[in-house]
Structure 1
Amino acid sequence: MSVSHDDDHFDFNKLERELKAAVTADEKYNRENDAKLRAVHQKVASYDEFKEIVKASHLKPLEKGDKIEGKFAQPWNMHADKKKHVTDSKDSETNEEKTRVPQNSLEFVREWRKLSLDKKYHFLIEIGPEKLENIFKPEIGFGLLGDFLLVLLEVSQEELHIVLNILEGFSRTNRFSLSVQFMSSKEKEACEKLFKRIEDLNEWSDRITSLRSLYGLIK
């Protein structure tokens, strides 16, 4: 009776590598799936932001006992270094006061979330209608259009024409009608109040009438 020697030639190392690869792939799938669910729950403003959250799902925050590798030089003159730190802080504050124009909706949302109501209004005005339209050309993320309308209620009489141009720019973005449909009743009320203020610009009544229709307002 012959005895099979297949077991003698079985590659256990290969089996172990395949098992590790399968476990790693399974962990990656679960990790990214959890990140997707978190992104949906947080109602991210754009698909780009959604992708960034999923892409960073493997990152973990530093624990209390974690050590950072590397050498740190001791300053030879601590007093001089302290003065430099104060100067750097002032420069930093000056730079923060300047408007940083976002290049896309993801950068915009990051800045937007840091600002108070009055600063949000100035943020929109300083960026301007043309750049805002370019930033949100792909689409205005769900919820943002309503935020914009509430913030733009702060408009002064002198800046009504700028707000009119901003509203027109938003209306030319992709899937704008979908953004209008997702506005809450409070946001729709803000929209109506804003248009009543803009109607003071009598010389542009035709533009305003057209815009009212695009924003779902019937007069």
Structure 2
Amino acid sequence: MYLLCFRASSSSPEPIPPPPINSFQLEADLRKMSRYPQCTYRYLKQIRPEAYPQIFQNSLEPDVLILMLKIFHSFYMQHEEASLLLAVLKSLSRVKRFNMTVMFMSSAEKKILQDLFDWIQRAGPEDPSVPDLQKKYGL
């Protein structure tokens, strides 16, 4: 079953692909939807947090992580619980070679990440794993 998303440039709904089973599918889907942040948000929202290590298996491309962080910043902070975002960030940090991906982040991208962690700490229940997770993300 496909979810539908209305794009600003069209009055007819576009289907949102089902959750990906691997990184190739996720990256292809994100490329198709990258100009439509609302659709990208709805696509990412349907992925269970614990599925990310299985989807990415060996590595997470820096541009994919950055696109995801921007969507989290634009939509998750407004529409989701902090605990969901925390679960997603924890799961992403378990992808193999994650630390290599984080090394390529610019200071502007790290600022987005810092905003996400600040929001988690303000909005969510105290979680003792947050400081360690921030270190994994290079903050």
**Alignment TM-score > 0.5, same fold:** yes
Q: 1:214 to 1:92 in 2, by over 3 A?
A: closer
Superposition deviation, residue 137 in structure 1 = 2.3
Superposition deviation, residue 92 in structure 1 = 8.7
**Which stretches in structure 2 are left out of the alignment for 5+ residues?**
5-13
- The residue type equivalent to 1:184 in the other structure is S
Deviations 1:54-101 (A, max 9, x none): xxxxxxxxxxxxxxxxxxxxxxxxxxxxxxxxxxxxx9996x635412
Pairing 1:21-60 to 2, within 5 Å after superposition: none
- The residue type equivalent to 1:105 in the other structure is S
Q: Residue 202 in 1 paired to residue 120 in 2?
A: no
Q: Residue 166 in 1 paired to residue 88 in 2?
A: yes
Pairing 1:60-75 to 2, within 5 Å after superposition: none
SS in 1 for 2:66: helix
Matched residue count: 125
In our comparison, the structure showing a higher alpha carbon Rg is: 1
In structure 1, the residue matched to 2:32 is 114
Q: 1:119 to 1:175 in 2, by over 3 A?
A: same
- The residue type equivalent to 1:97 in the other structure is P
More strand by share: 2
Q: 1:168 to 1:99 in 2, by over 3 A?
A: same
**Which stretches in structure 1 are left out of the alignment for 5+ residues?**
1-90
In structure 1, the residue matched to 2:43 is 123
Superposition deviation, residue 202 in structure 1 = 3.1
Aligned-residue CA RMSD in angstroms? 2.2
2: CA distance between counterparts of 1:122 and 1:92? Answer: 11
Q: 1:157 to 1:196 in 2, by over 3 A?
A: farther
SS in 2 for 1:113: helix
- The residue type equivalent to 1:166 in the other structure is V
1: CA distance between counterparts of 2:38 and 2:44? Answer: 10
Structure 1 segments (4+ residues) deviating >2 Å? 91-94, 96-99, 156-159
Normalising by structure 2, we get a TM-score of 0.80
Greater relative contact order (CA < 8 Å, ≥ 6 in sequence) = 2
Normalising by structure 1, we get a TM-score of 0.52
1: CA distance between counterparts of 2:84 and 2:131? Answer: 17
SS in 1 for 2:129: helix
Superposition deviation, residue 159 in structure 1 = 2.4
Contact 1:140 1:176 in 2 (8 A): yes
Alignment identity in percent? 31
Q: Residue 102 in 1 paired to residue 53 in 2?
A: no
